[in-house]
Structure 1
Amino acid sequence: MPAYHSSFNEETDCRLVGNVSVLPIKTKIRGPAPQADPSQGDIIDETIDLFRANSLFRNFEIKGPADRLLIILILFISDCLAKIGSARTVPSELEASKSLNTLAVDNFPLPGDATFPLNAHYAAPASRADADYLRGYLTQVRQELAARMVERLYADGTGKPSKWWMSFQKRRFMNRSLGT
C-alpha cells in the first residue's frame, strides 16, 4: 500500500523556495504565507488528516514540491507529540499550547543547512533572501499547525490529550526527526 501524497502537488501558481512549495494557509498569525480561501482545506488540514496513516511508512516517494512541505510538517507533528508525551505530568490544553508554540518558533534547520535531516531530498534556497523567506513561512506554518494540533488533541473536553493521537508519539515517519 503506498503512502498518501499531497493533493497540492498539482498547484502551478505557488512559489517555490528551493524545491519546497509555499502554499496558502488559513491563519490569523502574521507572516509571509499567502492567505487561503477559508472555505477550502489547506496544507495544514491535509497534514493533520494524513499524519496517522503516513507515519506508518518508512519510505515515501516524493511526487512534487508540496510533498516536501508535507514531509516537513509531518515530522513537526511527530516532534509536537513527543514534546507533549515527554512532559512529567499530563499537560493541560493551555500548557500544551504554550509548549508547542515555543517549539514552533524555536530555531530549526532549513533545507541546505548541515543539520537538516533530509538534505538529500531538498534543494537549498537560492539566496539569503529566499532562506529568510522560507524560515518566516515555515515558522508561521509551524505556529498554525501547533495551534490546530492542540485543538485536535484536546477536542474531547476531558483536559487530557487524545490517546488516539498520543499513541503515535514514538512513531517516526521515514525513521526521521527534525531534531527539535
Structure 2
Amino acid sequence: MPAYHSSYNEEPDVREVGNMSILPIRTRIRGPAPVADANSADIIDETLDLFRANSLFRNFEIKGPADRLLIVLILYVSDCLAKLGSQRTVPSQLEAGKILNTLSVDNFPIPGDANFALNAHYAPPDNRMDADYLRQYLVQVRQEVAARLTERLYADGTGKPSKWWMSFQKRRFMNRSLGT
C-alpha cells in the first residue's frame, strides 16, 4: 500500500523556495505565510490527518513540492511527540503548549544546511534572502502545528495526552528525525 501524498502538489501559482512549496495556512501567528481561507483545510490539517498513517511507512515517493513540506511537518510532529513523551511527568495541556512552542522557535536546520537530515531530497534556497524567508515560514508553520497538535492531543478533556497519539512517539517516518 503506498503512502498518502499531499493534495496540494498540483496547486497552481504556489511560491517555491528551493523545491519546497510555500503554502497558505490558517493562522493568527505573525509571519510570512500566505493566509488561507478560514473555512478550508490547509497543509497543517492535512499533516495532522495523515501523520499516523504515513508514519508507518519507511519509504515515501516525493511527487511534488508540497510533499517535501509534508515530510518536514510529519517529522516535526514526530519530534513534538517524542519531546512530550520524554518529560518526567505527564504535561498538562498548558505545559505541553509551552514545551512545543519553545521547540518550534528553537534553532533548527533548513534545506541546504550541513546538518539538515534530508539534504539529498531538497534543493537549498537560491540566496540568503530566500533562506531567511524559508526559515521564517517554517517557524510560523511549526508554531501553528504545535498549537493544533496540542489541541488534538488534549481533545478528550481528561488533562492527559491521547494515548492514540502518544503511541507514535517512538515511531520514525522514513526512519528519520529532524534532530530537534
For the criterion TM > 0.5, the same-fold answer is yes
Instruction: Spell out the pairing of 1:8-47 with structure 2 (5 A cutoff).
Output: 8-47=8-47
Verify: 1:3 aligned to 2:3, yes or no. yes
- In structure 2, the residue matched to 1:121 is 121
- Following TM superposition, by how much is the alpha carbon of 1:12 offset from its aligned partner in structure 2, in angstroms? 1.7
Instruction: Spell out the pairing of 1:66-105 with structure 2 (5 A cutoff).
Output: 66-105=66-105
Query: Residues of 1 paired with 2:97 and 2:164: CA distance?
Result: 18
> What residue identity is the alignment partner of 1:110?
I
- In structure 2, the residue matched to 1:52 is 52
Query: Residues of 2 paired with 1:112 and 1:12: CA distance?
Result: 25
> What residue identity is the alignment partner of 1:132?
D
- In structure 2, the residue matched to 1:62 is 62
- Structure 2 unaligned residues grouped into runs of 5+: none
Query: Residues of 2 paired with 1:54 and 1:124: CA distance?
Result: 25
- Following TM superposition, by how much is the alpha carbon of 1:28 offset from its aligned partner in structure 2, in angstroms? 0.2
- In structure 2, the residue matched to 1:173 is 173
Aligned length in residues:
180
> What residue identity is the alignment partner of 2:42?
D
Cα deviations across residues 110-136 of structure 1 (Å, max 9, x unaligned)?
A: 001000000000000000000000000
- In structure 2, the residue matched to 1:107 is 107
Query: Residues of 1 paired with 2:125 and 2:73: CA distance?
Result: 18
- Following TM superposition, by how much is the alpha carbon of 1:70 offset from its aligned partner in structure 2, in angstroms? 0.0
- In structure 1, the residue matched to 2:161 is 161
Query: Residues of 2 paired with 1:73 and 1:31: CA distance?
Result: 17
Instruction: Spell out the pairing of 1:134-149 with structure 2 (5 A cutoff).
Output: 134-149=134-149
2:21 match: secondary structure: strand
Query: Residues of 1 paired with 2:127 and 2:12: CA distance?
Result: 22
Identity %: 81
> What residue identity is the alignment partner of 1:26?
R
Structure 1 segments of 4+ aligned residues over 3 angstroms from their partners: none
> What residue identity is the alignment partner of 2:158?
T
* Structure 1 vs Structure 2 CA RMSD: 0.3
1:76 match: secondary structure: helix
